[in-house]
Structures are given as structure tokens and as C-alpha cells.
Amino acid sequence: MIVTFGNSRLNDQRSEMKDAIINSEVSQKLSQGRARRVLNTEAFMKSAKGRMFMGLAVVAAMALTVLSVPAHAQSSAMSVKIPFAFHVGTATLPAGTYMVQKRAGAVMISDGEGHDAAVIANNVPNNASAGDWLVFNRYDKDCFLTEVRWNGYSNALRLIKSTFELELAKAGTSERALVAATR
């Protein structure tokens, strides 16, 4: 409520001051809201840029990995006809035709009929001069898959020996057998 003392000019000035104060407060609140929105947008953009950068870095790393493999050896799967029963890790597999693959530090072998195994393996120098090979250790009548060699790769994979194979190795001598593979 405004009280008039006979000077309308003073009332006009007071009214203008009041309007200016209100406008100033409204303007300040609006600018604070805009500032919050701008800050939120900047934070979002930073996180979106960060996610985009990480995504591009992952794609680049994957591309480098794929390009570093020789073109003729990009498929690490091989088909092998094994004429005897054998051990892979703790599994015993019958004679037959198997698909052998390497996956993230492991060798996976399967005949597609429910006989399969996976064993952790270490990189060793590849001695395969031509073709793909499986190397078996034989102790008396027990054969163990020991190494997988892919032609065109500098490293082969040597399987980690099972407890059973280690016991047989302590007890006697072993013979090596090589089985050629096809792709």
C-alpha cells in the first residue's frame, strides 16, 4: 500500500524504484536459473564428450588388434582329425574330428557332438614351418594335448598341464606326437 502525502512526483519515483527492485530481483533469479542450466549443459557435454572419447579409444584399440594379425591368419580356428583318445586339461575326449580355436589366452576344442574342453595356455615361440599342428605328449597309453601351432603366427599356445599329466610325467618318459590340421 502506498501512502500519498500530496507529492505525486515522489510517489512516481518510489513506484519506479520499487519496479526497478522487483525487476532486478526477477532478472537476478532468471540469470541464476540460466547459469544453472548452462552449468548443467556444460557438465552433460563434458560427460558426453568423455563417453564419446572412450568409445573411440576402444574402437581404435580393437582396430589395431585386428590389423596386427596377418591377413592370411585372421581365422584361428582349425579342423583336426585326431585318430586316438586324448586328454585336454581334466577332460578325456574320444578320437574324432575337432575344431580348435584360441580365445583370450585359452585353447577351446570341440567336436560339435558334446565333446569339448577349454584349457588356459601360455604363448611360446611357434616352431610350425608350414601348416597348423597339434602337439601331443604320450605317457604309455595316455595322450595329452600339449601345444597348438598356427601357421603364420609368431607364437604358439602351450597348454597348462593337468595334475594327472604332471603325475604321469614324474613316473615315466613321454613321447611327442604331431597331428596336422586343416582350416
Q: With bands split at pLDDT 50, 70 and 90, how would you rate the model's confidence at 108?
A: very high
Q: How many domains does the chain have?
A: 2
pLDDT greater at residue 34 or residue 119: 119
Nearest to 149, CA basis, from 171, 176, 170: 176
**Beta bridge mates, 163:** none
Q: Are residues 105 and 140 in the same domain?
A: yes
pLDDT over 90 (residue 22): no
Strands, E assignment, the chain: 78-82, 86-88, 91-93, 96-103, 106-110, 116-125, 132-139, 142-149, 155-159, 175-181
Among positive and negative, which fits the CA dihedral 53, 58, 59, 60?
positive
Per-residue pLDDT reduced to its tens digit, 129-149: 778 899 999 998 899 999 999
User: How far, in Å, CA of 5 to CA of 66, rounded?
Assistant: 89
Q: Are residues 42 and 18 in the same domain?
A: yes
pTM of the model: 0.57
pLDDT over 80 (residue 7): no
pLDDT greater at residue 178 or residue 125: 125
Q: Are residues 41 and 86 in the same domain?
A: no
Q: Are residues 141 and 107 in the same domain?
A: yes
Q: Are residues 142 and 80 in the same domain?
A: yes
Query: Of 45, 68, 91, which marks where a domain is finished?
Result: 68
* Residue 53 structural domain: 1-68
Nearest to 117, CA basis, from 103, 130, 131, 127: 103
Please report which helix (H) or strand (E) contains residue 44, including its range.
helix 8-68
Q: Are residues 17 and 44 in the same domain?
A: yes
Per-residue pLDDT reduced to its tens digit, 50-66: 565 555 544 444 544 44
pLDDT at 172: 81
Q: Are residues 87 and 149 in the same domain?
A: yes
Q: Are residues 145 and 161 in the same domain?
A: yes
User: How far, in Å, CA of 72 to CA of 94, rounded?
Assistant: 31
**Vertex 59, ends 57 and 65: CA angle to 5°?**
105
**Beta bridge mates, 179:** 134
